[in-house]
């Protein structure tokens, strides 16, 4: 099955690999970027059949361009959502564009007669606000945004997905709406303009943190996340579905060991020793980014992708491959000097 599909946020990390796979499988793709001045750059690193790819200028907070972008399409993959590298001054800096962008995409998709709408959500909408005693999560779980550990990004993904599901139920019950909820997305890079999700690997490689904090996360490869989106676009009976896209849970010390084993001398700056929790908490007093996630110390948020495996036959590659591929591309593209 292949047709014409709109993928929002075409310059993004997941969207880039999704566009590549869709075109390789015969789809014609419409995609959006905020500034068409970047079209040539993005086409350059996507490296696809340009006759199969058309760009439109569209923004999450404005109506211009959306009707043209979805025109003639049968499917939508709404991937665009803010993912900052720094803590916002106000939560609404993330919440408003995430929620309004999702609702805007849905409204224009519905008006264009789109029947299948796949939205990129996150395990951030699933695994927060349950207390430290909960360690294992599935699609049945929802984040409690009133919890102290629900920082701005977590709130934005939860609020956007809930708002989208409510809108579909009230306004477009005939539309098949489905979400993909990835964990920490790693893997190869298409360009030096890398995703914030790769920041942990960058910091380890460049030795910019003095030790290994007691943080952990489930890892998933960007190529596998793109593949799950394609499966959600094409599989039958997807209405209301929700799929976790996650691999195994790894501590920072596990990631560091994989880097050292896979890269040898190129990983010489990767720290070996653990960073005591009290030092992380002190750092959080001066660094707003660390302050956002200091509550993650010692937390296990293990999200199961069994549902995607059972329903869609999806599978993930070894996280060692994803981590080493991330590092090698960061070195190759000059993102990190080792």
Rounded-to-integer distance, Cα 315 and Cα 293, Å: 29
Helix (H, G, I), strand (E, B) or coil at 237: coil
Distances (CA, A) of 263 to 133, 215, 233, 338: 36, 22, 36, 11
Beta bridge partners of 5: 29, 75
Rounded-to-integer distance, Cα 25 and Cα 170, Å: 34
Tokens 């939560």 locate to 91
Tokens 């609702």 locate to 103
216-221 sheet: strands from edge to edge: 184-186, 216-221, 249-251
Rounded-to-integer distance, Cα 27 and Cα 5, Å: 7
Name the maximum alpha-carbon separation found in the chain: 57
CB neighbourhood size of 47 (10 A): 11
Q: Give me the active site residues, please.
A: 157
User: Checking phi first, is residue 129 left (phi over 0); if not, alpha (psi -120 to 50) or beta?
Assistant: left
Beta bridge partners of 218: 249
Percentage helix, strand, coil for the chain under 3-state DSSP, each rounded to 5: 45, 15, 40
CB 181 within 8 A of CB 242: yes
CB 184 within 8 A of CB 220: yes
């Amino acid at each position: 099955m292949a047709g014409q599909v709109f993928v929002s946020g075409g310059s993004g990390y997941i969207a880039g690999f999704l566009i590549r796979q869709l075109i390789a499988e015969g789809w014609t793709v419409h995609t959006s970027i905020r500034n068409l001045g970047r079209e040539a750059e993005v086409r350059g690193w996507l490296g696809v059949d340009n006759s199969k790819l058309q760009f439109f200028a569209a923004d999450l907070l404005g109506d211009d361009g959306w009707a043209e972008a979805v025109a003639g399409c049968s499917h939508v993959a709404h991937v665009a959502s803010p993912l900052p590298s720094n803590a916002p001054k106000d939560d609404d800096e993330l919440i408003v564009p995430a929620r309004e962008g999702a609702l805007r995409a849905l409204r224009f998709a519905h008006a264009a007669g789109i029947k299948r709408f796949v939205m990129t959500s996150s395990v951030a909408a699933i695994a927060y606000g349950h207390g430290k005693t909960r360690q294992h999560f599935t699609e049945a779980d929802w984040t409690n945004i009133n919890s102290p550990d629900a920082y701005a990004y977590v709130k934005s993904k939860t609020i956007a997905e809930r708002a989208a599901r409510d809108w579909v139920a009230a306004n477009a019950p005939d539309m098949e709406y489905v979400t993909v909820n990835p964990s920490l997305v790693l893997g190869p890079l298409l360009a030096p303009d890398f995703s914030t999700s790769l920041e942990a690997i960058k910091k380890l490689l460049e030795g910019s943190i003095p030790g290994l904090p007691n943080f952990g996360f489930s890892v998933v490869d960007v190529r596998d996340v793109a593949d799950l989106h394609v499966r959600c676009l094409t599989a039958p009976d997807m209405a209301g579905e929700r799929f976790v896209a996650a691999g195994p849970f790894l501590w920072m010390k596990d990631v560091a060991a994989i880097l050292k084993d896979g890269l040898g001398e190129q990983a010489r700056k990767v720290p070996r020793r653990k960073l005591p929790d009290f030092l992380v908490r002190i750092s959080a007093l001066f660094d707003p980014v660390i302050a956002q996630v200091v509550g993650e110390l010692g937390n296990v948020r293990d999200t199961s992708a069994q549902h995607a495996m059972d329903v869609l036959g999806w599978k993930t590659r070894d996280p060692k491959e994803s981590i080493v591929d991330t590092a090698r591309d960061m070195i190759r593209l000059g993102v990190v000097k080792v």
